Amino acid sequence: MGIALGIATLSGLLASTRLMSKMLVSPLAGFLSDILGRYRASLFSFFGMILSMTLLSLTHSILAILIISLTFILSNFLEVVLATEVADLAASQDKARELIISLYVNWMDLGLAIGPLIAYLLRVKIEFQKIYLGAALTLLLTAILHLYTMKER
């Protein structure tokens, strides 16, 4: 007699892992960002996420759940670093503080809402492994642009 895991169980596991990792990772990410600096912390989290997305594109096993959990941890790490950058940018502006924070939060929420829908639509035509590889390449381009912008400041 074995244990069957349904999609609802797996979805719940992934959702709770993301929220739990946010609660646990945020203080650590802030601490490491203070020690390493934001540039190195961004570099670590971006390329860690790119590596985990690439690993997701290569696996077909239950191991994917562990890799997705790692991706959640790294995405939370990156979220903390980006939030502190946005807060510093907003603090340096006299008139546009609220606008900067609002744009950041709204774009994050939009991405969180639309991302899974886009992935689902792509899933109809493309297998998951290729979607993960595409996400890794998109993240690589984003990382290059963001890290270049950070270097310029």
This prediction has a pTM of 0.77
Determine the Cα angle at 145 with ends 143 and 147, to 5°.
Answer: 65
Average pLDDT over the chain, rounded to an integer? 84
Residue 1: the pLDDT is 46
- Alpha-carbon torsion angle 117, 108, 24, 66, nearest 10: 30
- Over residues 115-129, mean pLDDT: 80
Residue 141: the pLDDT is 94
